[in-house]
Structure 1
Amino acid sequence: MADKPQARKRNAYPHFLPIPTRWMDNDVYGHVNNVVYYSYFDTVVNGYLIDRGVLDAERSQTIGLVVQTQCDYFAPLAFPQQVDAGLRVAKLGSSSVRYEIGLFAAGAETPAAQGHFVHVYVDRDTRRPAALPEPLRAALALLVD
């Protein structure tokens, strides 16, 4: 069995987005279902990119495709809690980015879950890897650990 993952504290993440949980996020066990955590990952990453003006989902010529995801769970979250989604960039390549996300109960110092996903940026039409456009690279550089 792999070593137990170490939870990163709140101060490891330079950007946060508050995300309200929804009634439908809970499963029959009374907590947020594991698949919903990945939706929170998408929300904090794409929200950051849209807010910085470096992602136009309908028109950007360079788009990010998820090629890897992973999540470790430490404690449950449940409706009606607010989730503070922390975001950082662990690796910024020429055409790929490894985002790391911590999901915290509002105000908590230790995450309820943390994980990552990797975007490979590609040309929208050809789906071939493409260099990160400079405005995107600059926005992501602000999150590099």
Structure 2
Amino acid sequence: MTREPPRARAHYRAWRTIPTRWADNDVYGHVNNVVYYGWFDTAVNAELVARGVLDIAGGRTIGLVVETGCRYFAPLAFPQVVEAGVRVAHIGTSSVRYEVGIFAEGSDAAAAEGHFVHVYVDRETRRPVPLPLDWREALGALA
């Protein structure tokens, strides 16, 4: 079976450093696959908060995940530090596709690559809403 190799670091626009925790390792001695999804969520949402568009506690617009995926290339384990690269692959009317690369600190080769799609909705009604202009500008900088 042949598969596409991981993308280079240059593919990603913003970076977050995330330390692994002892509890991240599974019985096989490496970070469990479910932890990667937490890293994806952390990297993207931290970037949106840092750019001033996501107000977790009181913002009217929130993102709901409607699709996820991950490809694994190399194991990671506690006590490694990982670097999560984020980019926006697509901006729709009310949806965004994020791509996240997970790298061992200082490595040029991704240990994993993931994506997820957020549909942005009104916090109260949970109905899709068009992305506001400030969101579009912040997201465009990550494309």
With normalisation by structure 2, the TM-score equals 0.97
User: Residues 42-101 of structure 1, C-alpha deviation per residue, up to 9 Å, x if partnerless?
Assistant: 010000011111111111111100000000000001001110000000001110000000
**Which residue number corresponds to residue 35 of structure 2?**
36
Report how far residue 21 of structure 1 moved: 0.4
Report how far residue 6 of structure 1 moved: 2.6
**2:5 maps to 1:10:** no
**Which residue number corresponds to residue 142 of structure 1?**
141
**Which residue number corresponds to residue 74 of structure 1?**
73
Q: Which amino acid aligns with 1:41?
A: F
Q: Which amino acid aligns with 1:115?
A: G
What percentage of aligned pairs have identical amino acids? 63
Q: Which amino acid aligns with 1:88?
A: R
**2:120 maps to 1:112:** no
**Which residue number corresponds to residue 45 of structure 1?**
44
Structure 2, unpaired ranges of 5+: none
**Which residue number corresponds to residue 22 of structure 2?**
23
**Which residue number corresponds to residue 58 of structure 1?**
57
CA RMSD, Structure 1 to Structure 2 (Å): 1.0
**Aligned equivalents of 1:133 and 1:79: distance in 2?**
39
Structure 1, unpaired ranges of 5+: none
Contact 1:5–1:72 (Cα < 8 Å) also in 2: no
**Aligned equivalents of 1:140 and 1:6: distance in 2?**
26
Secondary structure of 2:106's match? coil
Moved over 6 A (4+): none
Q: Which amino acid aligns with 2:83?
A: D
Secondary structure of 2:55's match? coil
Report how far residue 122 of structure 1 moved: 0.6
**2:132 maps to 1:133:** yes
